[in-house]
Amino acid sequence: MVSVTVSHPLPRDVVRPLPLRALLAALRGNALASFPKEAFTDDVVVQRFLGRRHIIVNRADGVRRVLVDNAANYVRAEAATRILRPMFGRGLFLSSGNDWREQRRTLAPGFAPRAVRLLAGHVADAMADLVEELRSNVGQPIDLLPKLQCLALEIIGRAMFSLDMKQYAPELRELIYGYAGGLGRPSLADFLMPLSIPSPADFARRRFRRRWRRLVESIIAERARRRGSESNAPRRDLFDVVAESTDATRDSVERLGDQVATIMVAGHETTASAMFWALYLLASHSAEQERLAAEATVFSLAPEDASETVTQLIATRAVVDEVLRLYPPAFVITRQAIRDDFVAGVPVPARSLVLIAPWTLHRHRRFWTDPDQFDPARFLPGAPEPPRFAYLPFGTGSRTCIGQPFALTELVLVLAMFTRNFSISLAPHQPISPVGLTTIQPDRPLPFVLLPRHAG
């Protein structure tokens, strides 16, 4: 059993500006490798991509121009819409304009402070179950990533549906992660063909969507059966908020399913990714891990106390913020210009692709000291604030992630309960490298070793 320093904080195959063939290969294999080295040092990097400008913007005024001041001129890239539509349909993530504003307004109550307090209890309950399960594996190498994915699914399932999600987790994981590693990777046709014309992969994506919709609808139906059989009035959950604006028309019912799918996928996949990288970094930095374990012993992590405790876990929150800096689950925001514009001193012709990439902003040599080093002290009280628009783990502007309070609450509590109950280390392993798919994933399984601290 060994503990190691962080290996390969950047993909092994990062190179200088990529020719088209190499860029397409990177996007299909590891999107992180499509960022040239200049993207971590320069304000703007301009390349040509399939006859259009491909612009990586790192300068604060440029980020603000694209995501805040002139956001109406920048829409989601057609290739991204094509790839994500089978899973998210017409839910909040892919909607725009008045439709997006109405959906955001309808969903807002579900992410209000009261809802976040209820979520904290769900996190503590689900994590307590996982702690008991993991106690049977202490001292043995274990791949935690599938466990974390199931944990995040269980939490979002309890918060959204008031359901135990264990019966659905295998098929959900198969569909979500299978899609990300296969049909979710873009082909040349996905970039070249208009959105209105199906690409060759779109026919397989339609088959995926039919299976995906059947699964989502079966979960919704199960919730309806459970709620109908309960004698007492059940506690309000996130599904109630989503369903309130839905009538019985076929279109509205389909929209409800898309909204559920959006929240379910976005609400678990990003947090599971962040949980993995957090445990990887803590296993590689024993002093930080011990600091979190000591902090967690001071406060109650029982479900009824979790919402009050989360705001007091200062060191744990600093670790979460630093993990989201190094491995932001939403690692790039891609927009396509509708009309000609001028951004960060660079002309942006219509149809240009503009990338605002937390992956490069969070590791940029001009914004951060030792940017590839894990240093949670950057986010402790009293530390200097990050430069404006240099830290965007949840985006910025009107489309800032609506689930930010949920994600932060979940991550802080999960790390506190992990470090309180277990000493976390790494078994001997091959070096791992981050891979950009839908979120940032490790390129191979990583064996952790857990040893009990105390009864917790």
- pLDDT tens track for 57-104: 999 999 999 999 999 999 998 888 999 999 999 888 888 888 888 888
Which pLDDT belongs to residue 245?
Answer: 63
Is the C-alpha dihedral spanning 395, 396, 402, 407 positive or negative?
positive
Q: What distance in Å separates the CA atoms of residue 293 and residue 285, rounded to the nearest whole number?
A: 13
372 pLDDT exceeds 90? yes
Residues with Cβ within 8 Å of 343's Cβ and at least 6 positions away in sequence, in order, are 44, 55, 57, 62, 65, 66, 354
* Mean pLDDT value across residues 10-15: 42
Residues near 31 by beta carbon (within 8 Å), at least 6 away in sequence: 331, 332, 436, 437
pLDDT in tens, 28-52: 668 888 888 999 999 999 988 777 8
Q: Can you say whether residue 389 is alpha, beta or left, with left for phi > 0 and alpha for psi between -120 and 50 degrees?
A: left
**What's the pTM value of the predicted model, to 2 decimals?**
0.90
Q: Which residue has the higher pLDDT, 166 or 380?
A: 380
Distance CA 271, CA 257 (A): 21
Q: What is the mean pLDDT of the chain?
A: 87
Query: CATH assignment of 20-452?
Result: 1.10.630.10
Per-residue pLDDT at 2: 29
Paired with 424 in beta bridges are: 450
Per-residue confidence (pLDDT) for residue 231, from 0 to 100: 54
Interval 112-152: pLDDT, tens: 888 888 889 999 999 999 999 999 989 999 999 999 999 99
pLDDT at 18: 55
Structure tokens at 59: 């300068």
φ and ψ of 97, to 5 deg: 60, -140
Which pLDDT tens digit goes with each residue over 219-266? Answer: 988 888 877 666 555 556 788 888 776 655 556 678 888 888 888 888
Q: How confident is the model at residue 207 (pLDDT cuts 50, 70, 90)?
A: very high
The structural domains of the chain, with segments of one domain joined by +, span 20-452
